[in-house]
Amino acid sequence: MDSMISVIRPDGTADPEQDPGLPEEDLLLLYRKMALLRAFDEKAIALQRAGRIGFFVPSAGQEACSVGAGHALRDGDWIFPSYRDHGMALMRGCPLETLLGQIYGNAADPTRGRQMPSHWCDRSIRLVSVSSPVATQLPQAVGAAYAAKLRGEKVASIASFGDGGTSTGEFHAAMNFAGVFETPTVFFCENNQYAISVPVSRQTAASSLAVKAQAYGFRGIRVDGNDVLAVRKVVGDALARARDGKGPTLIEALTYRIGPHSTSDDPTIYRSAEEVAAWREKDPIRRFAAFLSGRGLMDDASIDAAAAEAKEAVRKAVEVVEAAPPVPFESLFEDVYAELPWHLAEARDALLAGKE
């Protein structure tokens, strides 16, 4: 239970027994999406520091988790992400402009500014809105999976969350229901070592987080969360089992959040520079680049080109989103009632008259 599955060895070669055997085009796609996610992350932090957006939750260091898991998902699967899993959305085809629009909250935002900046969603890929309360997405993911099971649909749901989420009542309720009713749910815990400032050692006395699955009667697996191929294999296998009616799985992905918890956080207060430096050496993007170089699929020039391409894609997306106008005032009165009540119609008309 406490052993950890890895595919990419320290020297960049792959364990043939664990390698998911993805085609070359998929391997290169994974790398490009990881590079795009890192570029998006760096730019969003710069935008917040410059006062151009209000808030952001970064994911540097965890790209292998969300991109690897996102690649394993299929059409029809339900996604209940944490706020740090932009990679799942990008991997499933959510346009970069759609994510950015929801961070800006202007007319480029499909939810028209009704959400907090990092509460993004995409109905077209069944990606349910992020929310701030810790682990509330877990019971929701189980409910969606149970409904799919009752309808006889061969789909699964995935809920991603952090190590701190395992300390909530929602975690227990979701795990217990999933185990009892054998719902097609994958619980994807990205153990990045800290629940904001609280280390995982203060979250549990158990030998791992994956071992907690035993109490609920289903499988628990630990995977190297900085190894995108290992994440892809483990999540893919768990989703396939779920779709085949073999019940839920808890996956603990060991990873590390290189940057702050959010743009409102100062991580230097609760962790050392030496610790961060040690984890930087395990950078998932650099590790995957070494693997691809060893396979003859990339070299220094193509790695640099991928990074430049990602930065340019982010720059163009920011340009498009920042050119969008504010959300119209009258949208305040829309999307709630099929027919607007008279008193709200009067309030709308008064608001619009005051603008003239």
Residue 18 vs residues 4, 25, 92, 224, 267: alpha-carbon distances, Å:
11, 19, 24, 12, 35
Q: Are residues 270 and 288 in the same domain?
A: yes
Q: Are residues 111 and 243 in the same domain?
A: yes
Confidence at residue 350, expressed as pLDDT on a 0 to 100 scale:
92
Q: Are residues 105 and 84 in the same domain?
A: yes
Confidence at residue 329, expressed as pLDDT on a 0 to 100 scale:
87
Whether 191 and 163 have beta carbons less than 8 Å apart is answered as: yes
pLDDT in tens, the chain (356 residues): 579 999 999 888 999 999 999 999 999 999 999 999 999 999 999 999 999 999 999 999 999 999 999 999 999 999 999 999 999 999 999 999 999 999 999 999 999 999 888 899 999 999 999 999 999 999 999 999 999 999 999 999 999 999 999 999 999 999 999 999 999 999 999 999 999 999 999 999 999 999 999 999 999 999 999 999 999 999 999 999 999 999 999 999 999 999 999 999 999 999 999 999 999 999 999 999 999 999 999 999 999 999 999 999 999 999 999 999 999 988 989 988 999 999 999 999 999 988 65
Q: Are residues 207 and 342 in the same domain?
A: no
**Per the structure block, which two tokens stand in for 228?**
């995108």
Residue 89 dihedral angles phi and psi, to the nearest 5°: -65, -45
Name residues whose C-beta falls within 8 Å of residue 270's C-beta, 6 or more positions apart in sequence.
194, 197, 199
Q: Are residues 356 and 257 in the same domain?
A: no
Beta strand residue intervals within the chain, DSSP E: 4-5, 78-80, 157-162, 185-191, 194-195, 198-199, 219-224, 249-254
Q: Are residues 218 and 203 in the same domain?
A: yes
Q: Are residues 288 and 336 in the same domain?
A: no
Q: Are residues 80 and 225 in the same domain?
A: yes
Q: What does the alpha-carbon distance between residue 11 and residue 154 come to, in Å, rounded to a whole number?
A: 39
Confidence at residue 102, expressed as pLDDT on a 0 to 100 scale:
96
Confidence at residue 143, expressed as pLDDT on a 0 to 100 scale:
98
Confidence at residue 356, expressed as pLDDT on a 0 to 100 scale:
58
Q: Are residues 220 and 336 in the same domain?
A: no
Q: Are residues 248 and 355 in the same domain?
A: no
Q: Are residues 240 and 340 in the same domain?
A: no
Residue 319 vs residues 34, 104, 150, 193, 332: alpha-carbon distances, Å:
21, 12, 45, 35, 26
- Enclosing domain of residue 13: 4-325
Q: Are residues 311 and 336 in the same domain?
A: no
Each residue of 154-191: pLDDT tens digit? 999 999 999 999 999 999 999 999 999 999 999 999 99
Total domain count for the chain?
2
The amino acid at residue 73 is L
Q: For residue 242, what is the domain's CATH number?
A: 3.40.50.970
List active site positions: 257, 261, 270
Confidence at residue 122, expressed as pLDDT on a 0 to 100 scale:
97
Each residue of 36-80: pLDDT tens digit? 999 999 999 999 999 999 999 999 999 999 999 999 999 999 999
